[in-house]
Structure 1
Amino acid sequence: MDIRHMLVVVDATREEQQPALERAAQLLEHYTEARVTLMLCDYVPALDGGVLFESHALEKARESLLAHHQAHLEQLAAPLRNKGVQIDTTAIWGKRLDRHVLREVQARRPDLVLKTSHQRNPLKRLLLSAADWQLIRYCEVPLWLVKHGDNTLSQVCASVDPLHSADKPAALDNKLVAYGYQLSQQLKAQLHLAHCYTPLPRTMVFDASVIADYEGYAKDVKQHHATAFSQLLARSPAEGVTSHLLEGDPEEALPGFVEEQKIDLLIMGAVSRSRLESALIGHTAERLIDATPCDLLIIKPDGFVDPSKP
């Protein structure tokens, strides 16, 4: 994974701790030639009077707010600039953080976007389309969602799907393994590969012959997935990788696995769906945002183009 330019989304609601920036600073220790863009996007409804109530005073208030944010960005950039890192800063006014991030991605073409991921309560997960979800769906470059930026990245895991049951192209698994291997080598971390499989529950098997030998059926399913997983490992350039075949859906099996293995970064693939499918089904990565305590790195297939662009 060649990182030459990182776009770091600064959290406008935090004055001090910025996990995404902390993670970027760690990566700069290993990617010493990389440059950074710090962006901050803020919107205060009280300062948006709308067409009927727009005034010079409101405009000046917004300018003052952006000037304050710009000064804050310069303050955040100073320690890294003192180390010789090339840093640009931009403060933006507007709604829909995800749309502004995607515009910056189009304009600046970074190799990586880093953003702090907030924990959401169950009601918000049901009712809101969070910026994280939109970026998972539409960001054309790798997206790193940071939970805690101060921990060392010593355990990296790529979640693969060699039978492509989630409609992911075969080449994406190879890309996930390659990114995981390159990152683990650069960070001197242990690389894990995990594949989740799910046989049909006994209560959903309607074939009488299968019901009579459900254990045999479940064993055959496991062997089928184990063979595909082994073939993927055989094609992998990753040496010293630890592999894990997990029974259960990813959103059920991975959170416990991540905690048990003390995984610091989980790498996952995401493919684009229609807006309706995304609303009804969602991506595995979306469902894991709040379920896993570690960082998530979301990778798109080669040639992916943001379908939401005008």
Structure 2
Amino acid sequence: MKKVFQHLLVVLENQHDDELVLSKALMLAHQYRSKVTLFCSLYQSRSQADVCQQAAKYQQQLQQTLQAMGLVAEPVIEICWQQPARKKIEQLLADGDISLIIKRLQHKRSLLSWLIPDLEHYFISDCTLPVWLVKQAGNNTELSILACLDLGNNSEQQHSLNHDILTIGEQIVQQSTQQLHVLNCYQADDYSMSLPYDSNLGFAPLPDIQLQHTLKLKPYIEAHHLPADIIHLSEGLPDDEVPKAVLNYQCQLAIIGNAHQHEFSSVLFGNTAQYLSRHTPCDVLIIKQAD
């Protein structure tokens, strides 16, 4: 797969916490020698005259902040006010070589924001690029990274997505002193109302789900040369087990996949990626299924 950190699109909000996103993005840009594009939307904020002045002032503030942070390479700065943010971002993605989007996770402020697909939903479920959602400052470089696999889905697309998650996790730990942990969740209970039955042998025993997942892990362990002590099998739903693992292993980043993009049901009911992006107590990097 294409190098994830080749060109970073940093989405800013013209708010006080922009520096948190900037510092994370510039740290990654320094580690991977990435190109950087900074984007901020001021669409429908004020009158046309006012927004031009606001854009010029914000660009000057950005440049001063970047100088104070010691940035060497000058990033591209895109400030949009003539069209909606999503439309402009889609143009940037179509016209450029952007490989990763970095933004601050925005909290839902009203009931309406939960019902109408917003820019956050676009980044998590509709945009095809990986998205790094920043939640906290990452000053401690000794913390861990959690790569979350899905072995319950046997499709070739999910198999490829699992490999991408591990590859990106390995890229990150190679550039730091962090420890990689690999998590797979499974449900041991069979909630089916029917059991396999043979007229001679009677009811067949339920399959050993943990053993099945252990066997499914072997190709990934061999392909990525993963040591046994970083592999974790956890009984339960990812919604519950991923946040627990983040706390147990002191992770500052969880890498998850979203294999359910572009589904209308995710707007109404959400999906695992949407849930984990909000309830995991650390940054979340969401990897998408390849087209």
TM range (shorter): 0.7 to 0.9
Contact 2:130 2:288 in 1 (8 A): yes
The aligned counterpart of 1:10 is 12
The offset of 1:26, in angstroms, is 1.9
Residue number among 255, 260, 272 corresponding to 1:284 in the alignment: 272
Q: Which amino acid aligns with 1:18?
A: E
Contact 2:170 2:180 in 1 (8 A): yes
Identify the range of structure 1 (263-272 vs 277-286) with the bigger mean alpha-carbon deviation.
277-286
The aligned counterpart of 1:50 is none
CA 1:262–1:91 in 2, change beyond 3 Å: closer, same or farther?
same
The alignment partner of 2:280 has SS state of: coil
In structure 1, distance between residues paired with 2:229 and 2:26: 26
CA 1:171–1:44 in 2, change beyond 3 Å: closer, same or farther?
same
**1:86 matches 2:74:** yes
Q: TM-score scaled to structure 2, two decimals?
A: 0.84
The aligned counterpart of 1:141 is 129
CA 1:294–1:84 in 2, change beyond 3 Å: closer, same or farther?
same
CA 1:125–1:227 in 2, change beyond 3 Å: closer, same or farther?
farther
Note the alpha carbon deviations across 1:205-257, whole angstroms, 9 max, x for none. 423679xxxxx63x712211122123322222445760111111111211112
The aligned counterpart of 2:148 is 159
In structure 1, distance between residues paired with 2:229 and 2:31: 21
The alignment partner of 2:278 has SS state of: coil
CA 1:179–1:274 in 2, change beyond 3 Å: closer, same or farther?
closer
> Structure 2 regions of 5+ residues with no counterpart?
198-204
Contact 1:113 1:144 in 2 (8 A): yes
Q: TM-score scaled to structure 1, two decimals?
A: 0.79
The aligned counterpart of 1:41 is 41
Residue number among 180, 194, 200 corresponding to 1:207 in the alignment: 194
The aligned counterpart of 2:245 is 257
CA RMSD of aligned residues (A): 2.9
In structure 2, distance between residues paired with 1:91 and 1:79: 20
In structure 2, distance between residues paired with 1:241 and 1:109: 37
CA 1:115–1:224 in 2, change beyond 3 Å: closer, same or farther?
same
CA 1:253–1:121 in 2, change beyond 3 Å: closer, same or farther?
farther
Note the alpha carbon deviations across 1:156-206, whole angstroms, 9 max, x for none. 1111113426995311111111111111111221001111112346xx442
Superposed counterparts of 1:115-126, under 5 Å: 115-120=103-108, 123=111, 126=114
CA 1:37–1:241 in 2, change beyond 3 Å: closer, same or farther?
farther
In structure 2, distance between residues paired with 1:122 and 1:208: 46
CA 1:164–1:70 in 2, change beyond 3 Å: closer, same or farther?
same
The aligned counterpart of 1:66 is 55
In structure 2, distance between residues paired with 1:61 and 1:164: 52
Identify the range of structure 1 (177-186 vs 146-155) with the bigger mean alpha-carbon deviation.
146-155
CA 1:272–1:107 in 2, change beyond 3 Å: closer, same or farther?
farther
The alignment partner of 1:114 has SS state of: strand
The offset of 1:72, in angstroms, is 2.3
CA 1:168–1:105 in 2, change beyond 3 Å: closer, same or farther?
same
Q: Which amino acid aligns with 2:128?
A: E
Contact 1:113 1:141 in 2 (8 A): yes
Contact 1:194 1:243 in 2 (8 A): yes
Contact 2:28 2:34 in 1 (8 A): no
In structure 2, distance between residues paired with 1:79 and 1:293: 29
In structure 1, distance between residues paired with 2:18 and 2:270: 30
